[in-house]
Structures are given as structure tokens and as C-alpha cells.
Structure 1
Amino acid sequence: MTASATGRGPVLVVSAHAADFVWRAGGAVALSASRGQQVHVLCLTFGEKGESQGLWKQPGMTLERVKEARRDEASRAAKVLGAEIEFLDVGDYPLRATDALYDSVTATIRRINPATIITHPVKDPYNLDHSLTHEIVLRSRMVAQAAGHDRSSQPIGATQVLQFEPHQPEQCDFVPNLLLDISEVFERKVEAMRIMGAQGHLVAYYTDLGVRRGVQAVRNGGPRSITHAEAFQRVFPVVGSELL
């Protein structure tokens, strides 16, 4: 696979709810896909209870109709970004870490064998579904590395994990150490964001955030051609043969 700023080889994005990956990592998804990498999005839930405000305002709305709408939105957004998408539909608000969920995430990690996993940060006091997703991903990654787990599949290596930017980073102790230039794919991210009608109020926020992170990328040594960026925080160190 072609190398990209998010790593080499397949990329797995684990999203607590059906829209999270679009707002927080849509640029990374589109950039990796545009460079020939497989990108697989795993949505643990549809965000049907807690993150579908626009849909619940409609008369006569039902839980199943909300799920159908969220599946449709997220699937269309993933297609625009160039990613595969999978839904586990385990229920949100609250998300519960069951043995079955751990097994599903671990199996997906082994199947995709990603070079990079992108998911939520370790701390998000505003949405504990997000925090729990981070824990589920790290525990599942650990199990997926174990030689004695499921001898019918192969253990993964030392997959890097990137935390994407939460909605209120200051309250989440989010300190980015990667500003990813997404200038060339930003319009594709905007197109995908506009599909997410159940949370349409967030489009302007994340458009503005992309501009601000782009300014910061330039100020941190990036080329002046950068107009938009996404922020990430690595969980594990990067190994190199020279000082950068």
C-alpha cells in the first residue's frame, strides 16, 4: 500500500456513533483513500438515541427509522470519502462493553490488519460513549496481538493508534502531536459532513476548526500551501532512525 501521513497500509477508524468519524477524521479518511490505502470505518452504534437530534424533532419518529436514516447518512458519507463502512448496532446512550462487542472489534482488527487505527481520545467527560470506545479499541488491539487468541487468525503487529480531536479538546486533555494536512481533500470532507443531516449544525463548527488547525499547521513548520488540517494525538511513540 502507498504511504501516507496516517501510516502505511490499511487504516481502521473506530467510531462510537455513526457520524463521529466524519466530523473528526473525514479528512484523514479521504486523504488515505486517495493515496490507495484501504480505509475501513467501524461504527459501534448509529448514535440513534443521543446524537440524532434533528431526526427526533420530526413528528412520529421511531427508533428504527432513526437507525435507518443514520445508516443511510453514514454510508453515503463514507462513500464520498472513499471508505468501506460497517455497523455493529450495539446501542448508544449508554454504550455497553460486552464480551460480544470486544470479540467483534478484535475480529475486525485482525481481519483488516491495520497499520493505523483512528478512534476517540481516552477522555471525554461530555460523552462517555466516546471514552469507552477508546478503551474498547485499546483492549481489542491488545487481544488482537496475542498469539494464543483465536488460532484461526493471525496476530497483528504494533499498530499505531491515533486519537482524533474531540468536540471540546480543552476539557478532554487533548494535546495534538500531529497536524495532518487535508487541504487537497477538504472539499470532499465538507461534502460528507453536509450529508449528516441529523447533526447538520456541526458543519460550520468543523469547517471553522479545519481552517484554524490549518493555520496552526503552517505556524508549526508546514508549507504555506496548507489551508486546512485535522489534529490527532498519538497513543504510542513513533520509531525513527533520525531526529526530527
Structure 2
Amino acid sequence: MSEKTALVVSAHSADFVWRCAGAIALHAEKGYKVTVVCLSYGERGESAKLWKLEGMTLEKVKAARREEAEKAAAALGVADIRFFDLGDYPLEMNREDKYRLVDLIREVQPSFMLSHSHYDPYNTDHMYTTKVLLECRMIAQAWGHNPGEKVLGAPQVYLFEPHQTEQMGWKPDLFLDITPVWEKKRAAIECMAGQEHLWEYYTRVAENRGNHFRRNSGGQAGGRDCRYAEGFQSVYPRVVDEL
């Protein structure tokens, strides 16, 4: 039996924690080898608390954000976390950077991938990440790219929930019960000291999605209980044998 794997592509070093830490922890417990790649540390645009400290420098901020992300990844059972250190605000990737991501996708051969919403006018790094990921998925499937390497199949790409959902055109078609691993997600959230203002916000998001899980599983008519959940939007059709 081949190893089960998953790949999370996070624009900044904290994004994977807020938006899909439950999915990461849940699949890690199920035996998946989860790889997280942080394209940047969010050092310029998502580290305001750190920049307010006296004597702060760009390298110190990056080091602090990396340490937070590594601690969070350990709390979730992440098997492998990588940092591309491409810079943020703006995040930009050249052909070499894209091929680096293609190489990682082919190395991991993920059963599924997780990344940002298609649209985010508040943070264009987020939507840029998903645009590039879909391009790299396509390249990783191409037999003519580095012939002789194992090409990628057709893993689903799930878009995790953005920050101001109603502004993003993001529409979840899947809710995942993360109640069994909620304490792991909360522990990972609390590793993100540089963005403490988001701790309670994303706790409430998980509770709200738990409500939506219950409602869509049958609600008061005997539906399945769920206290915490995460929502995702599928990019590609899901292939099934039974509805």
C-alpha cells in the first residue's frame, strides 16, 4: 500500500494554522504524511506586533515567524515543513521558484492539496498563491517536464476559508469535523504569538462551521454532532462511485 500524503501551500507562515490546522492534525492522526510549504514568513505584512518592538529587524522577524510555524507544525503532527522564503507584500514567484514548487509536488505526490481562496482583495499574496499552485499542478502533470520523473496524477485542491469570507467569493462545498483534534489546532493557534489578535476569531470560525456541519448532517432531525469544523471549496470535480 502506497503512503498517504497531503500538501498544504501557505502564502505566509501562519496561514496554514488559522485555516486548515484541523484538517492537518486529523489526517496526520489517520496516517497521512502531511507536508506544509510556507512561501514566505509574512515578515513584512503579517507581523505588526513584532515590528512594534524596539530594535526589530527583518531577519529577526523572519526568525520569530519561522520558530512559531515550526512549533505549530509540531503540535499538529506535520511530517515536513518547508520555507521558501520568497518575501511577502508582494509575494512574487519567477519560473525557477515555480519549478521548485513543481519539484516538491512531484516529490510528495499528494493525495490532495490545500491552499487559499481564488480571490482576496485584502491580501493579494493569498490569491496569487493559489493561482501559482494551480499552474504548478498543471506543470507537475506534464510528461514533457523533466522527462523520466514520476508525473502527478489529479489530486483535488481544496481551498480553505479566507478571513473575510463574504468578500472573497469563497463558497464551501465540504465541511470537515475537526472536533477530535480541536485541542491540537488551538495549541497550534497559540504558537502564533505574533498574531494573538486572531486566536479567538478563528476559534469562533471553527465553532460556526461546526454549527454548519450539524445543520447539513441533518440538524435537529438527528444529524451528527460536531462542535468544531473547517470548511473547504473544491476546485475540481470529485469522482465517486456512490452518492
Q: How far apart are 1:152 and its partner, in Å? A: 4.2
Stretches of structure 2 that go unaligned for 5 or more consecutive residues are none
- 1:92-117 residue CA offsets vs partner (Å, 9 max, x unmatched): 00011211210111000000000100
Task: Give the C-alpha shift of residue 224 in structure 1.
Answer: 3.6
For the pair 1:42 / 2:37, whether they are aligned, the reply is: yes
Q: Is the 8 A contact 1:97 1:132 kept in 2?
A: no
How far, CA to CA, are the matches of 2:26 and 2:232 in structure 1? 14
Matches within 5 A, 1:32-71: 32-71=27-66
Q: Which residue in 2 is equivalent to 1:240?
A: 240
1:95 counterpart residue number? 91
User: Do residues 27 (structure 1) and 60 (structure 2) align?
Assistant: no
Counterpart among 114, 129, 136 of residue 132 in structure 2: 136
Q: Does the Cα contact within 8 Å between 2:143 and 2:151 map onto a contact in 1?
A: yes
Q: What code does the residue aligned with 1:200 have? A: E
Deviation at 1:203, TM superposition (A): 0.5
Range that drifts further, 217-226 or 35-44: 217-226
> How many residues matched?
238
Q: Which of structure 1's runs of 4+ aligned residues deviate more than 3 A?
A: none
Structure 1: runs of 5 or more not aligned: 3-7
Instruction: Measure the CA separation in 2 of the matches of 1:240 and 1:134.
Output: 25
Equivalent AA in structure 2 for residue 56 of structure 1: W
Instruction: Using the TM superposition, give the Cα deviation of residue 240 of structure 1 relative to its aligned residue in structure 2, in angstroms.
Output: 1.1
TM-score between both structures, scaled by the size of structure 2: 0.95
CA distance in 2, matches of 1:152, 1:47: 36
Q: Which moved more, 1:214-223 or 1:198-207?
A: 214-223
Q: Say if 2:164 is the partner of 1:164.
A: no
The letter for the 2-side match of 1:206 is: Y
> Do the aligned partners of 1:13 and 1:21 also contact (CA within 8 Å) in 2?
yes
Q: What does residue 104 of structure 1 align with?
A: 100
Residues 12-67 of structure 1: per-residue CA shift (max 9 Å, x gap): 00000000000000000000001100000000000000001111111110000000
CA displacement 1:82-137 (0-9 Å, x = unmatched): 11200000100001121121011100000000010000111011100001000110
Q: Once the two structures are aligned, what percentage of the paired residues are identical?
A: 49
* RMSD, aligned CA: 1.3
